[in-house]
Structure 1
Amino acid sequence: MSEAQSSRTARRGRIFPHIQWTEEHKAQKRAEDENFHQRCQLIFDRVKPEVIETHYNWYMVVEPESGDYFIDQDEEVAMKVARQKHPGTVPLFLFRINDTGVSGTI
């Protein structure tokens, strides 16, 4: 017997090609993202002096609504603990406890 072969091709391109965002909507989204980042940054800046000496280059996940933060050497563990404590909360923000707070490079 021969096996049937699928003639289905993989989809390429945008996942939601029917969504067209207006410039106004894009600007609003950028403003919301910046506001969220600033709220998280305030919490990070407040805590960083306390933990930078003992947890240098560890990861910190911040949930800005509650002010909670979670620290671990492994970014996945920190994120997992944060999601367990705040299920369904999106988004959370990840920082690296160092001089810049940046967790990766582009």
Structure 2
Amino acid sequence: MSQKTHRRVPRGSRIFPDRALLSPEEIARREAENEAFAQRCREIFNRVYPELVKEHYNWSIMIEPESGDYFIDPNPEIAFQKAREKYPKARILEKRLNEAGCVGRI
């Protein structure tokens, strides 16, 4: 049986000090990429929402913005599987076909 070692970390210090912090430029670049990705997904969602919400209210929609494809299903896991079958490495955004487009509550 292995022995547990307890290491005290002073308050306000980093838990993993050997990990490099991201530069402000890298943080800004990642935020810009995320915002561009979300904007492309929002455009697709706003385009297809009016026709889908009538028959598929509160279903999950997975959006792949590079191709413009989307996958819907009442079960979010099945919709995600459909998206992964066609685009195994792509970033996918999940939304809900309801008034807010939100997946859950805050």
- TM-score bracket relative to the smaller structure: 0.7 to 0.9
State the identity %: 43
CA deviation after TM superposition for structure 1 residue 70, in Å: 0.1
Q: What is the CA–CA distance in structure 1 between the aligned matches of 2:61 and 2:31, rounded to whole Å?
A: 23
Match of 2:3 in 1: 7
**Aligned counterparts, 1:89-100, within 5 A:** 89=90, 91-100=91-100
Paired residues, what number? Answer: 98
Deviations 1:55-86 (A, max 9, x none): 11100000001100000001111011100011
Deviations 1:3-60 (A, max 9, x none): xx22256xxx55x951310111111111110100000010010000001011111000
Match of 1:29 in 2: 30
**Superposition TM-score, scaled by structure 2 size:** 0.84
Where does the alignment leave 5 or more consecutive residues of structure 1 unmatched?
Answer: none
**Aligned counterparts, 1:43-62, within 5 A:** 43-62=44-63
**Superposition TM-score, scaled by structure 1 size:** 0.84
Runs of 4+ in 1 over 3 A off after TM superposition: none
Give secondary structure in 1 for the equivalent of 2:31: helix
Where does the alignment leave 5 or more consecutive residues of structure 2 unmatched?
Answer: 6-14
